[in-house]
Amino acid sequence: MTQRTTDRLSSETARRDAFLAAYRSMLYGRVFDDKLASLYRAGKIVGGVYLGRGQEAYSAALAHQLRPGRDVYAPLIRDQAGRHAFGESLLDAARTFLGSASGPMRGRDGNIHRGDPQNGTLAMISHLGAMLSVVSGALLARRLRGELDDCVGAACIGDGGTSTGSFHEAVNAAAVEKLPLVIAVANNQFAYSTPNERQFACDNLVQRAAGYGVEGHTVDATDLAACLEVFEHAVARARAGNGPQLVVGNLLRLAGHGEHDDAPYITDAHRKAPYAGDCNVLARDTIVHSGWLSEAELADLQTQAQQEVDAATATAQQEAAPDPATQSWVALFTTHLAEGEAEP
Amino acid sequence: MSITYLEAIREAQDRALAEDPAVFIYGQDVAEFGGAFKATRGLCDKYPGRVMNAPISEDAMVGTAIGAAIEGMRPIVEMQFADFSSVGLNQIINQAATLHWRTGTPCPITVRLPSGGTPGSGPFHSQSMEALYAHYPGIIVLCPATVEDAYGMLLEAVAIDDPVIFCEHKYLYYHLKAEQLPDESLPVGRARIARAGQHATVVAYSAMVHEALLAADQLRQDGYEIEVIDLRSVKPLDTDSVLASVARTGRLLAVGEAFPWGGATAEVVSRVASEGFHLLDAPPQRLNAKDTPIPYHPNLWSVHRPTAGSIAAALHDLLRL
């Protein structure tokens, strides 16, 4: 075998491995989301349920480029697949939706408002755009300490979130500091019910990159291979010191805003548009057509995901809920400066 | 040698930067220029890379500080004026203030708010925002009234593992002088008896402490000894010291420069009414700014906020009740 042939084969192997790893997170994300939807309908979940259906390829492809324990990740509400790829346990995810006191948020916050900030996964607040500058701050801290090296931070946001002042301030400030911030905009066509044409007036959100002086990229977010390629490139550019990267992926949200929303505003015309493909189905087709996994292996993977998700939700459901009587009703870390009730 | 309130703030930041490599300063014009009020003058040169200019983006400034704090830094954010912190309000009250409760991660950020009125500053460069921030759980709100406290409490603010809103009064920046910086000060959360008395208690904070002291001088000429309590910290609020003073005097006037609806003075009156009703010889009173935006012209401004004269008048009314 010539060297060139060997290189080609190893790069094909790497591409296949990346695709399969990301697909695995997409599948786990989808199976988990479907489980959440059924638990929600059964009345087992208090509060909202927000699904990433249709966004799995984009979400997983970004997180696949990140290194847990090194990079900073700020997922948003439709990033179950990305969270899985970044190493979040299904049990912690299930605990947060099901209100287990053992979860990372201990019942103090729920559903998608979860994270482990000191270990690189920020816990989103609901105010859109607000997490971007927090990622920047984490990167700036590392730069100040001389520990930035080739770390990146990634912040996820939707089309609607790009309209906030917070988004604008953060992207501009990150550009001024030339921070390795990757901003992943998932344009799923609707901010809750508001379509793109009532959200922004530019042709494509990536045009904003030029205004901020950052590099911009677009991708068909239904196509996992394309998502992997665009994030591999964007994250590498950020790691190499080329400043913030604005990536815009086009897709359709294959669900309501939340499970309470039957999304009457998504019309047949949207469902027939090129961005409406189901990324999980398309990725699975690619795997089969490329001969990377057999139908039987894919069925096994599906079963395994289902079993792990079922086990996680079953465990979380059996765990104790938070107890108001033993709760510390003190918001401060510095407890001796707290007003009101003391520690129990 | 004498040192002003403003110089004390600069000195405190100098010392904080010197003592802890985790401290840095982020704000508009704070680097080479030294800040709009020169509170960071010379620090950029002395601590290269640790005093950084920010774009005019209060939301991003606070968000950036929070992210750095998560990573173990102790950022000081300078708002150019307290008024502009409203643009960063979301990050302060929803991100910084909830972080520890939600995730167990401490958020040691200090946000400096050049606060309060000065002649000619008008509606958007004069505000006192302490009540707004004190309303939210998870935030400490400090309002130093003296040079010594400006220094000692800012150092303490930077060391506290929670978000601190540091309300420094612009009127005191140049007016107030001390002979030297203190070696130690009362801890945060403790009020101070600025003047002892027996006929009525004025509870005040920040610049209003000095107006109250002047009013107390006036009342002494009529034979009244007024006790003046300097809260120092609006949150936590030292209810015990306030109650102890009211126990001595039987009368309470709470004075604040902020707008009248709700706020720190309402909180003081509420606590004394519910916890110290039996101590009161007269209904507890409040004196605040008027319920309008803060006027530009000195003629209007001087009657918009409480002054020694209006405090003295309110005390005379209180002593007749």
Segment A78-104, tens digit of pLDDT:
999 999 999 999 999 999 999 999 999
Is residue B232 assigned to a domain?
A: yes
What's the complex ipTM? 0.96
Is B263 part of a structural domain of the chain?
A: yes
B183 domain-assigned: no
> How far lies B207's CA from each of A183, B55, B132, B192, B258, in Å?
45, 30, 18, 14, 11
pLDDT band at A6 (very low <50, low <70, confident <90, very high): confident
For residue B185, being part of any structural domain is answered with: no
Residue A1 has what pLDDT? 63
Residues of A in contact with B103 (CB under 8 A): 104-105, 115-117, 123
Let me know if residue B186 belongs to a domain: no
B124 and B208, same domain (yes or no): no
Q: Give how far B99 is from chain A: nearest CA, Å.
A: 8
Which chain A residues touch B99 with a CB distance below 8 Å?
117
CA distance B77 to B104: 22
Residue type, B119: P
Q: Burial, A11: exposed, middle or buried (Cβ in 10 Å; 0-12, 13-18, 19+)?
A: exposed
**Tens digits of residue pLDDT in B260-309:** 999 999 999 999 999 999 999 999 999 999 999 999 999 999 999 999 99
Closest to A117 (Cβ–Cβ): which among B62, B70, B90? B70
Q: In terms of domains, do B56 and B137 share one?
A: yes
Exposed/middle/buried for A296, CB within 10 Å: 0-12, 13-18, 19+? Answer: exposed
Which of A108, A118, A329, A333 has the most B C-beta neighbours within 10 Å, making it the best mutation to test the interface with B? A333
- Kindly report, residue by residue over A35-59, the tens digit of the pLDDT: 999 999 999 999 999 999 999 999 9
Tens-digit pLDDT profile for residues A139-160: 999 999 999 999 999 999 999 9
Q: Are residues B116 and B196 in the same domain?
A: no
- Residues of B annotated catalytic, as ranges: 58, 125
In the predicted structure, residue A344 carries a pLDDT above the cut 90: no
**pLDDT value at residue A9:** 78
- Give the integer Cα–Cα distance in Å for A250 and A185: 9
State whether B7 and B147 are in the same domain: yes
Note the pLDDT tens digit of each residue in A206-249: 999 999 999 999 999 999 999 999 999 999 999 999 999 999 99
Do B90 and B133 belong together in one domain?
Answer: yes
Q: In this structure, are B23 and B168 located in the same domain?
A: yes
Together in a domain, B241 and B123 = no
Question: 3-state class of B311 per DSSP?
Answer: helix
pLDDT of the residue at A341? 59
Contact between B27 and B194 (Cβ < 8 Å): no
Single-letter amino acid, residue B68: A
Q: Which residues contact A58 (CB under 8 A, 6 or more apart)?
A: A184, A186, A219, A221, A227, A249, A251, A279
- The last residue of one of the domains, among B178, B209, B234, is B178
Whole-number percent of chain B with pLDDT over 70: 100
Would you say residue A343 has pLDDT above 60?
Answer: no
All domains of chain A, ordered by start, with CATH? 18-337 (3.40.50.970)
As a whole number, the mean pLDDT across chain B is 97
CATH number assigned to the domain comprising residue B95: 3.40.50.970
pLDDT at B26 over 70: yes
User: Distance (Å, rounded) from C-alpha B87 to C-alpha A170?
Assistant: 13
Q: Do B162 and A137 touch (CB under 8 A)?
A: no
**Dihedral of CA A13/A19/A24/A25: which sign?**
positive
A219: left (phi over 0), alpha (psi -120 to 50) or beta: beta
For B86, phi and psi rounded to 5 degrees? -60, -30
Q: Are residues B99 and B241 in the same domain?
A: no
Element of type H or E holding A249: strand A245-250
Range of the domain at B297: 192-320
Question: What pLDDT is stored for residue B273 in this prediction?
Answer: 98
The whole-number pLDDT of residue A172 equals 98
Cβ contact B228:B213 at 8 Å: yes
Residue position matching structure tokens 């493909």: A277
Work out the average pLDDT over B197-219.
98
Average pLDDT over residues B41-61: 98
In a domain, B187, yes or no: no
Residue B160 lies in a domain: yes
| A138–B102 CB contact, under 8 Å | no
**Contact yes or no for A137 and B69 at CB 8 A:** yes
Evaluate whether residue B184 is within a structural domain. Answer: no
**Alpha-carbon gap, residue A18 to A233, rounded angstroms:** 14
Least confident of A194-208, A220-234, B175-189: B175-189
Q: What is the pLDDT of residue A201?
A: 98
Q: Do residues B141 and B243 share a domain?
A: no
The total number of structural domains in chain B stands at 2
C-alpha B241/C-alpha A140 separation (Å) is: 42
Closest alpha carbon to B276 in B310, B229, B242: B242
Select from B123, B154, B178 the last residue of a domain. Answer: B178
Q: Name which residue leads in pLDDT, B175 or A8.
A: B175
CATH of the domain at B236: 3.40.50.920
How high is the pLDDT of residue A7?
Answer: 80
B239 shares its domain with B121? no
Q: At residue B197, what is the residue type?
A: G
Q: Cβ separation of A165 and B24 shorter than 8 Å?
A: no
B199 in the same domain as B172: no
B68, B88, B118: which is closest to B28 by C-alpha?
A: B88
Q: How far is CA B212 from the centre of its chain?
A: 16
| Residues 6 or more apart in contact with residue B16 via CB below 8 angstroms | B23, B74, B76, B154, B155, B158
What is the DSSP secondary structure assignment for residue B110, as one 8-state letter? E
Residues B228 and B307 in one domain: yes
Residue type, B40: T
Give the list of residues 6+ apart from residue A284 with CB closer than 8 angstroms, or none.
A23, A298
> Which ranges of chain B does DSSP label H, i.e. alpha helix?
5-19, 43-46, 58-70, 89-90, 97-103, 130-134, 147-159, 170-175, 208-220, 239-249, 263-275, 298-304, 308-320
